[in-house]
Amino acid sequence: MNPDSQNVTDYTNNNTIFMVWNFKENLEVSAVFKKLCKLVINLNNSVNVRFPVSRASCVMGIGYDAWLRLQLPVPLPKELANFVPIDGEKHTAVSSKGDLHFHIRADNTSICYDMAAAISDILSSVAVSTEEIHGFRYWDSRSILGFVDGTENPQGQDRELYSMVGSDDGLYKGGSYLFVQKYIHNLTSWKELSTEQQEKVIGRYKSNDIEMADDVKPSNSHIALANVGDELKIVRDNMPFGNMSTNEMGTYFIAYASTFSTVKKC
């Protein structure tokens, strides 16, 4: 791994905070951004020294508009662009603005909180937090729907292969394309389905996490539709979240990929 690369290849941890920030208009933000970059480096170094077994880290992503506003190096990463909404027959993959994205993870909630607080202290003068999701490990890495999530994720050295930019974009080799989606699940309707019906929706057996045989698995199941070939693999660090007071339960989908075109095809 490139020593300057961010830690996008680590496995999901017990606790995660996802944050999206947007810069305020008509403000000079470059000086604060430089402080922020130094802070993120310091946070990662500090937690590795103080809590070596916590597998704590903070990964910062920069959006296309922010890249231009901050006048970061040109040429840009070859495939860096704003996401264009995708309209489906029933649903739309929306595009929402995000100048900076933070993926904070640790086995201890206190570590996540302290890193998020330090980032917020620096950014709040020039940016607005538009999203904050607290994810958690649900039993044996299950989504809030009750099925194991991440079984087909690349393992070992393949995580670097599929998540990091290669030599074809040498200036940014070791970087990564970040893509996130926030899914809200209707658990009331989901719980009305029998376990067998749920398994057919997912394409995998619920109790033992084994994928259904091709002659049994419905062609419109989640696994059948999501399987687009080994060459298009991505590294996902999805986390479930839930808020009882707002009845907002879901999955925060986060992908790291070597190319953005891979994400769009997935």
Catalytic residue among 149, 158, 169, 214: 149
Question: In this predicted model, what pLDDT tens digit does every residue of 69-81 receive, in sequence order?
Answer: 999 999 999 999 9
Question: Residue 5 falls within a domain, yes or no?
Answer: no
Question: CB-based contacts of 139: which residues, under 8 Å, 6+ apart?
Answer: none
pLDDT in tens, 30-47: 999 999 999 999 999 999
User: What pLDDT was estimated at residue 227?
Assistant: 74
The pLDDT score that the predictor gives to residue 265 is 66
How many separate domains does the chain show? 1
6 is a domain residue: no
pLDDT given at position 262? 79
Q: What is the DSSP string of 108-156?
A: SHHHHHHHHHHHHHHHTTTEEEEEEEEEE--TTTB-TTSSB--TTS--T
pLDDT of residue 4: 76
Query: What's the confidence (pLDDT) of residue 69?
Result: 98
| CATH number of the domain residue 79 falls in | 3.30.70.100
- 220 inside domain: yes
Confirm whether 4 is domain-assigned.
Answer: no
**Domain with 210 in it:** 15-265
pTM equals: 0.95
- Tokens standing for residue 108: 């201890």
Q: Does residue 44 fall inside a structural domain?
A: yes
149 catalytic residue (yes or no): yes
* Measured distance CA(157)–CA(16) in Å, rounded: 23
Query: What pLDDT score does 2 carry?
Result: 62
CA distances from 30 to 15, 34, 74, 140 (A): 31, 6, 16, 42
Q: Is residue 119 part of a domain?
A: yes
Sign of CA dihedral 246, 60, 257, 141: negative
**Which SS3 state, helix, strand or coil, does residue 77 take?**
coil
The candidate with the shortest Cα–Cα distance to 257, out of 166, 149, 141, is 166
Residue 136 counted as domain residue: yes
Residues with pLDDT less than 70, the chain: 1-3, 228-231, 264-266
- Kindly give, in sequence order, each residue whose CB lies less than 8 Å from that of residue 154, ignoring residues fewer than 6 positions away: 161, 162, 163, 233, 235
Whether 251 maps to a domain, the answer reads yes
